[in-house]
Structure 1
Amino acid sequence: MSVEPISRESAVDQLERRLQEDILGGRYAVGTLLPPERELAARYGVNRNTLKHAFVRLVQVGLVETRHGVGTRVRDFHRLGSADLLPALVVAYPAWLAEVFEVRQSVGALIAVRAATESSAEDHANLRRQVQAVGAAQSVDDTQLADAEFHRLLAVASRNRVYTLLTNTLLNAYLPLRAALSKPFQDAKVAAARLEPLAEAVCARDTQAAREASEAYMAETERLMTAGLT
């Protein structure tokens, strides 16, 4: 089986990504043992120390398990994997993107409602300031990153730390793929205008308006993102 060797630069990151892709793509089936370390390291053109570091990361996200004297086995990631696998799963199985959008829509509405109830005057100032930062962004990528920061601040304003962690998880899945999902952020001022009703509803402590603004924002950005993929 021919596998293109990877470069020395960021070897652990690249190897982790390549192994994820190969496992999720079916090269190494669930329940099977990976090839011995020496063979696997040679196959990917890395040393065994790099391989061990990559394995540690794959164990953390529930993709493999390593047992001394046995080897490294591919786990049932659908049952045992963590949300850290989402970026790789979306790449390997595009149908996952629709499910990510579904969770984004429902969780976003819950966060908006709670933020409208629990947020402080400082949160309101932060949200309004971040809307301005979106509108002032000088590139598509900067606009996307500023928009992502708005949603992180909104989760913080909910005063629910689990919502903050869920938001971080969804953003971690989204950001590596953002170049393919950039259509809503081509115009920074339009992107800011899209966020403003949500920010103002939260600042007004209007829970119904916050829910509706969140749902409208999520639906419109999903429509634009998916249109940009076709």
Structure 2
Amino acid sequence: MEALPRETIVDVLENRLREDIFTGRHPAGTLLPPERELAEGYGVTRTTLKHAFGRLIQAGLLETRHGVGTRVRDYARLGGADLLPMLVRHSPDWIGEIFEVRRSVGALIAERAAARATDGQKAELRTLLAAVGEAEDTDAVQLADVEVHRALARATGNRVYALLTNTLFNAYLPVRTALAGPFTDPPAARARLAPVVEAVVRGNQRAAHRAAEAYLTATERIMLEGLA
């Protein structure tokens, strides 16, 4: 069993402020009320409020200017992909859009990996694929599958693909347990992913693209059924 997270009052306030921003209670572009008023409204100290503000500023949801106050940033226009995990926690509707990007980017990564993978990277992919089929439980299969995709991204030789892959995985971690459908049967999970690795190892770019598209479409369907 996983230990339950222990939330502090700062954690609770951060989550509440974030939800109030995403739901429009504090609209993008507007100044938040003065700190004293806001702290009283949420029933916390100004010190707690400042700590929560610091986290949300770092996340790109707020910005503070001396003498002006704290403003809600237009995250939809100015934000980056690092906001995706927060947005998914706010609304699972984001999952569909993440999967759309996952399909297109994943197929491109497989194609690039087929063109550029070194012999060492091909050997690593075979090893990681075998680990998927040998994993002991659903959670281990899911994590082993993730490592195959990270290795595919590295094999492209493009570090941006690797970072983007990490971002997409981080984005649906908040609902990960509901997305475990494709990973309940280790041999089946390995067989589903094997055509992608095999095409990359052969250096067949077109086959790798097609195999990745088929894999990502099939697993997406199973995952979305689990969410439903």
TM-score tier by shorter-chain length is: 0.7 to 0.9
Q: Are 2:203 and 1:212 aligned?
A: no
CA-atom RMSD, angstroms?
Answer: 2.2
Name which of structure 1's ranges 169-178 and 132-141 shifts more when overlaid on structure 2. 132-141
TM-aligned CA distance change 1:206 to 1:74, over 3 Å: same
**Structure 2 spans left out of the alignment, 5+ residues:** none
Residue 219 of structure 1, CA deviation: 0.1
Alignment of 1:161-172 (within 5 A): 161-172=159-170
Amino acid at match of 2:16: R
Residue 65 of structure 1 is matched in structure 2 by 63
Amino acid at match of 2:137: S
Residue 58 of structure 1, CA deviation: 2.0
TM-aligned CA distance change 1:202 to 1:42, over 3 Å: farther
Residue 32 of structure 1 is matched in structure 2 by 30
Rounded to whole Å, the distance in 2 between the matches of 1:63 and 1:113 is 36
Rounded to whole Å, the distance in 2 between the matches of 1:12 and 1:146 is 34
Q: Which digits, 9 at most, give the CA deviation of each residue in 1:22-63, with x for residues without a partner?
A: 211223222222243345445556554454343233223321
Aligned pair partner of 1:98 in 56, 78, 96:
96
Rounded to whole Å, the distance in 1 between the matches of 2:12 and 2:135 is 30
Is 2:138–2:180's contact at 8 Å kept on the other side of the alignment?
yes
Name which of structure 1's ranges 205-214 and 43-52 shifts more when overlaid on structure 2. 43-52
**Percent identity of paired positions between Structure 1 and Structure 2:** 61
Residue 147 of structure 2 is matched in structure 1 by 149
Rounded to whole Å, the distance in 2 between the matches of 1:33 and 1:86 is 23
Aligned pair partner of 1:185 in 174, 183, 186:
183
Name which of structure 1's ranges 30-39 and 63-72 shifts more when overlaid on structure 2. 30-39
Aligned pair partner of 2:224 in 217, 221, 226:
226
Is 1:118–1:158's contact at 8 Å kept on the other side of the alignment?
yes
TM-score, L = length of structure 2: 0.88
Rounded to whole Å, the distance in 1 between the matches of 2:79 and 2:162 is 20
TM-aligned CA distance change 1:194 to 1:80, over 3 Å: same
TM-aligned CA distance change 1:26 to 1:212, over 3 Å: same
TM-score, L = length of structure 1: 0.87
Residue 201 of structure 2 is matched in structure 1 by 203
Rounded to whole Å, the distance in 2 between the matches of 1:188 and 1:29 is 46
Q: Are 2:92 and 1:126 aligned?
A: no
Rounded to whole Å, the distance in 1 between the matches of 2:102 and 2:47 is 38
Query: Number of aligned pairs?
Result: 224
Q: Which digits, 9 at most, give the CA deviation of each residue in 1:94-119, with x for residues without a partner?
A: 33222111111111111111101111
**Structure 1 spans left out of the alignment, 5+ residues:** 1-6
Secondary structure at the counterpart of residue 30 of structure 1: coil
Q: Which digits, 9 at most, give the CA deviation of each residue in 1:147-179, with x for residues without a partner?
A: 112111110111001111111111110222211
Residue 9 of structure 1, CA deviation: 3.9
Residue 21 of structure 1 is matched in structure 2 by 19
Is 1:61–1:83's contact at 8 Å kept on the other side of the alignment?
no
Secondary structure at the counterpart of residue 65 of structure 1: strand
Residue 137 of structure 2 is matched in structure 1 by 139
TM-aligned CA distance change 1:59 to 1:118, over 3 Å: same
Residue 108 of structure 1 is matched in structure 2 by 106
Aligned pair partner of 1:56 in 54, 57, 60:
54
Alignment of 1:81-96 (within 5 A): 81-96=79-94
Amino acid at match of 1:151: H
Residue 159 of structure 1 is matched in structure 2 by 157
Is 1:127–1:199's contact at 8 Å kept on the other side of the alignment?
yes
